[in-house]
C-alpha cells in the first residue's frame, strides 16, 4: 500500500514536533525514519498509525484519506520497542489476541485462528515456543512474538518503533538481518521503522528518511545518504565524520587564519564546515603541509587502526583518522593531513 504524508504539522505548545513533513512511501517499501531523539520520528509514526493527530496536514493510504479512519480501519500493525506483550498470556495467545477480539461478524472461527497463529509462529521461527510465557523468553524471542502479533491481523502497513533498541548488539544484528530477509521473501508489506541507529537503517532499509528538529533533511537510498549527504547535519549524523570549522573565501578554504589548499566546491563565502571520512584523511609529512597536527594516541586491533590527532592552530580540536596499519606514526609526532575526498557546507546558523 502506498502512503502519502502531505505537509503534516504537529505542535506540543510552542514546540514543533513535526514542521511541514511531506513524504511518499511506495507500496512494499521498507523505509527507515532515522534521526536523533526529539527529531519527530515517533510522532510521525504514531500519526500514520492513528494513535495521534496532526494539527494540519493530510495522510493518504492508496489515495484515500487515512485521517478519517480509526486505528482498526487503517489495518496497521504496530511493533513497540518494549514489546507490549501480555505477560499472563502464552506466546500463542498473545499472537491470537488481535484476531480473537474482533467483532463477531468479522471474527474467524477458532480453528482458523489457531491455524493462522501456528503459521505465523513458524514464519518468525518460534513455533516451538508457543506454550511459553513472555517471562520465559529472551529479548529477541519476545520481539519476534511482537512482530507475529502485529502480522496476525494481515496489516496493510507495518510500523516498528525502535524495534531492536532494547536488545544487545549481537542480537540486534541478527534480528536486523532476519527482518530484512523476512520482508523480502515472505511478507512484502509496506513497512516503516523508527531508529536512531544509523547502522541499523543503512543495513535494513530500502530508503532512509533523515529527520532533524521536526523536518526532513534528506531522503534517499542508504548509498545516497551516505555517499551524497545533502546537508552538514546528514554528513555528521550518517557514518563517522571528521568536522573542521573553516572560512570559505574566494581563494579557497582557510583554517585558523591559514589557507589549507582546498577549494570550496561551489559553497558561498563565509563560515563553513569541512567534512572528511576518517579513512579519507591521509597522514603525510608535516613539512610543507597546509594542515598539521600532533599525534596524541595510536590504537587498534587487527586490521583496524585509529590515530587521534590534535590540530595545530585555532581552538583545541582532536580528530580521529583511520590510516593504513603499515603507516608508522608515533605519539608526540607532528604530521601533515590531506583530505583525499571531502565535502564543504555552510556552517549552521546556530553554530
| Residue 337: inside a domain | yes
Say if residue 40's pLDDT is above 60. Answer: yes
- For position 326, which CATH number holds? 2.40.50.140
Q: What is the mean pLDDT of the chain?
A: 92
| Residue 351: inside a domain | no
pLDDT tens for 181-219 read: 888 887 889 999 999 889 899 999 999 999 999 999 999
One domain for residues 187 and 153: yes
Say if residue 31's pLDDT is above 70. Answer: yes
Which of 173-187, 299-313, 325-339 has the largest mean confidence?
325-339
Q: Which domain holds residue 327?
A: 242-346
One domain for residues 190 and 294: no
Number of domains observed in the structure of the chain: 2
Quick one: pLDDT at residue 182? 84
Average pLDDT of the segment spanning 217-226? 97
What phi-psi label fits residue 60: left (phi over 0), alpha (psi between -120 and 50 degrees) or beta?
beta
Beta bridge partners of 259: 254
- The sign of the torsion formed by the CA atoms of 137, 141, 147, 153 equals negative
Helices (H), 101-168: 110-123, 139-152
Last residue of a domain, one of 187, 212, 232: 232
CA distance 42 to 119: 30
| Residue 237: inside a domain | no
Average pLDDT of the segment spanning 29-39? 94
| Residue 221: inside a domain | yes
- For position 197, which CATH number holds? 3.40.50.300
CA distance 213 to 237: 13
3-class DSSP assignment, residue 130: coil
| Residue 178: inside a domain | yes
One domain for residues 115 and 28: yes
Quick one: pLDDT at residue 350? 66
One domain for residues 216 and 246: no
Average pLDDT of the segment spanning 145-154? 90
One domain for residues 41 and 133: yes
One domain for residues 253 and 207: no
Average pLDDT of the segment spanning 291-303? 88
One domain for residues 303 and 181: no
Q: In the structure, what pLDDT confidence band is assigned to residue 153 with cuts at 50, 70 and 90?
A: confident
List of E strands, 13-69: 15-25, 30-34, 56-61, 64-65
Quick one: pLDDT at residue 204? 92
Amino acid at each position: 500500500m502506498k502512503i502519502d504524508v502531505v505537509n503534516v504539522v504537529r505542535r506540543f505548545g510552542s514546540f514543533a514536533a513535526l514542521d511541514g513533513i511531506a513524504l511518499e512511501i511506495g507500496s512494499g517499501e521498507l523505509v527507515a525514519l532515522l534521526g536523533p531523539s526529539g527529531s519527530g520520528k515517533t510522532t510521525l509514526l504514531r500519526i500514520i498509525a492513528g494513535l495521534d493527530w496532526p494539527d494540519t496536514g493530510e495522510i493518504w493510504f492508496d489515495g484515500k484519506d487515512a485521517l478519517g479512519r480509526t486505528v482498526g480501519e487503517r489495518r496497521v500493525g504496530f511493533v513497540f520497542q518494549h514489546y507490549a506483550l501480555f505477560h499472563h498470556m502464552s506466546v500463542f495467545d498473545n499472537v491470537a489476541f488481535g484476531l480473537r477480539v474482533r467483532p463477531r461478524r468479522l471474527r474467524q472461527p477458532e480453528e482458523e485462528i489457531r491455524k493462522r497463529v501456528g503459521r505465523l509462529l513458524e514464519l518468525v521461527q518460534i513455533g516451538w515456543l508457543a506454550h511459553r510465557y513472555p517471562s520465559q523468553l529472551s529479548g529477541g524471542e519476545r520481539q519476534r512474538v511482537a512482530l507475529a502479533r502485529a502480522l496476525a491481523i494481515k496489516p496493510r502497513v507495518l510500523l516498528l518503533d525502535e524495534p531492536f533498541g532494547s536488545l544487545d548488539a549481537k542480537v540486534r544484528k541478527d534480528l536486523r538481518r532476519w527482518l530484512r530477509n523476512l520482508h523480502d521473501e515472505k511478507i512484502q508489506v509496506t513497512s516503516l521503522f523508527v531508529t536512531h541507529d544509523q547502522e541499523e537503517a543503512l543495513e535494513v532499509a530500502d530508503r532512509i528518511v533523515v529527520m532533524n528538529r521536526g523536518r526532513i533533511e534528506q531522503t534517499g537510498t542508504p548509498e545516497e545518504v551516505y555517499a551524497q549527504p545533502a546537508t552538514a547535519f546528514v554528513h555528521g549524523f550518517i557514518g563517522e565524520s571528521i568536522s573542521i570549522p573553516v572560512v570559505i573565501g574566494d581563494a579557497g578554504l582557510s583554517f585558523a587564519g591559514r589557507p589549507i589548499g582546498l577549494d570550496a566546491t561551489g559553497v558561498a563565502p563565509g563560515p563553513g564546515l569541512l567534512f572528511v571520512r576518517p579513512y579519507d584523511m591521509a597522514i603525510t609529512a608535516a613539512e610543507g603541509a597546509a594542515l598539521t597536527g600532533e599525534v596524541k594516541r595510536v590504537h587498534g586491533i587487527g586490521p583496524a587502526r585509529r590515530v587521534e590527532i590534535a590540530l595545530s592552530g585555532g581552538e583545541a580540536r582532536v580528530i580521529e583518522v583511520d590510516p593504513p596499519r603499515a603507516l608508522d606514526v608515533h605519539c608526540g609526532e607532528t604530521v601533515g593531513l590531506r583530505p583525499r575526498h571531502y565535502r564543504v557546507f555552510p556552517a549552521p546558523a546556530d553554530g
